[in-house]
Structure 1
């Protein structure tokens, strides 16, 4: 692929990924990893998404109304996410990344289907002190294995009963920590591709543009409509990941 074609492909990828993230509060790394991995090694694709992912996640994190309260509530989960990512990075940089991505895609799609068909899951406040760090550790391990940081963090956060904008901000917090942890883990493993990371600066503008457009759409959604599209987004993203792996096997 020529350099110009690569730039166009990367720009369109992050424009679409940013739009999805703007609407449902997630999806940028999933879409970006899926498309970029078609012509890049998984570790190189992960390095390329670090900068646009970090920028869009910080924007999402700081745009909400309850940063301090959410940070205090989810602090132990965030610490565990970081630790789990460091521990799980060997899968992404090894030879089992595609299998891990397929499993993640299946789990993501299944949760989305359950969320659309069943009553809402809720997490009792009394179990949060021990469940939050456990969920964070598992999320970190999955992040290290796949470069995607949505399971089980997204289902868990959506089960906490947060308001729409608080949920979006909580997702931004989780994704910001996961992005930083992924960059650190890739660096510690010697797999952080500086060329891909520097090239990812080109992806920031289309990612932000797509996210801005998506946020305008989200602001017009009723809470129930938002919840429905939230789970539809999970199904689509999971099915996409699974189909991509099966199609290349």
Structure 2
């Protein structure tokens, strides 16, 4: 509580507003929480604190979705996508330990360029259909990018969505796969940054505070 009081009411209000909007989008379409939180919070918080704030909302919101969809179904979906998840987790664990070693400007650049690249691909409608032979290396590359950027920022979705779209994954299955991958990644992010020190006694209260607008926003978005 003391840590929250030291932050001040104006910043807490901004965190609440940004996270409420992110939760609303998550509740309405099923994804997008970390990207919106990072984009909004980075305007007034340092990068490592932004990442810390994202961790608990990402963890709880994704586990909540898994509980709604069914744990068994999610695990079966995850097993079918085990190559992607395995590579992603390896790179996430690696990059998470680099957060404290990278300058804030370099961190924003490393995160921003891949996210912008995949966003442009989605907006412009660029499409490609890899052959069956090329799918495994392309899947591994997408997973590596997803994990590396995810460990630094909590944003792991753009490479995954681009890959699933490229292989013509049916919409319903795509949502299941995203849910499974995001849930596993959120657990890994939580554990990795307990180890890295990004999530600690000083930053945990603000991340826990952000759970309130996250869940409220998800409830409103699902109406």
TM-score, normalisation: structure 2: 0.81
Runs of 4+ that moved beyond 6 A: none
**Post-superposition shift, 1:84?**
0.3
Q: Deviations over 1:53-80 (max 9, x none)?
A: 1111122234337424311211221121
Q: Deviations over 1:115-152 (max 9, x none)?
A: 3xx5x655566655554344222211121233321231
Which of 102, 107, 112 is matched with 1:97 structurally? 107
Structure 1 position 153, deviation (Å): 1.5
Tell me how far apart the structure 1 counterparts of residues 171 and 207 of structure 2 sit (CA, whole Å). 30
Q: In the alignment, does 2:40 pair up with 1:35?
A: yes
Residue aligning to 2:200:
193
Cα distance in 2 for residues equivalent to 1:49 and 1:86: 17
Equivalent positions of 1:199-238 (< 5 A) are 199-216=206-223
1:177-228: per-residue Cα shift (whole Å, max 9, x none)?
A: 2222223332333333332223222222321222233234xxxxxxxxxxxx
Please give the root-mean-square deviation of Cα atoms over the aligned residues, in Å.
2.6
Question: Alpha-carbon deviations, 1:219-240, whole Å to 9, x = none?
Answer: xxxxxxxxxxxxxxxxxxxxxx
- Which sits farther off after the overlay, 59-68 or 173-182? 59-68
Tell me what 1:50 maps to: 55
Note if 1:179 corresponds to 2:186: yes
Q: Give the Cα separation in 2 of the matches to 1:52 and 1:68.
A: 21
The number of residues matched between the two structures is 213
Change in 2 beyond 3 A, CA 1:138/1:161: same
The question of whether the paired residues in 2 share the 8 Å contact of 1:62 and 1:169 is answered with no
Distance in 1, Cα, partners of 2:136 & 2:67: 24
Unaligned runs of 5+ in 1: 217-249
CA distance in 2, matches of 1:215, 1:161: 26
Cα distance change on mapping 1:123 and 1:20 into 2, 3 Å? farther
C-alpha contact (below 8 Å) 1:92/1:147 kept by paired residues: no
Find the aligned partners of 2:204 and 2:11 in 1 and give their Cα distance: 14
SS at match of 2:210: helix
Contact in 1 for aligned 2:145/2:159 (Cα 8 Å): yes
Shift in alpha-carbon separation, 1:111–1:185, aligned structure 2, 3 A: same
Unaligned regions of 5+ residues in structure 2, if any? 1-5
SS of 1:195's partner is coil
Query: For 2:172 and 2:151, how far apart are their aligned partners in 1?
Result: 28
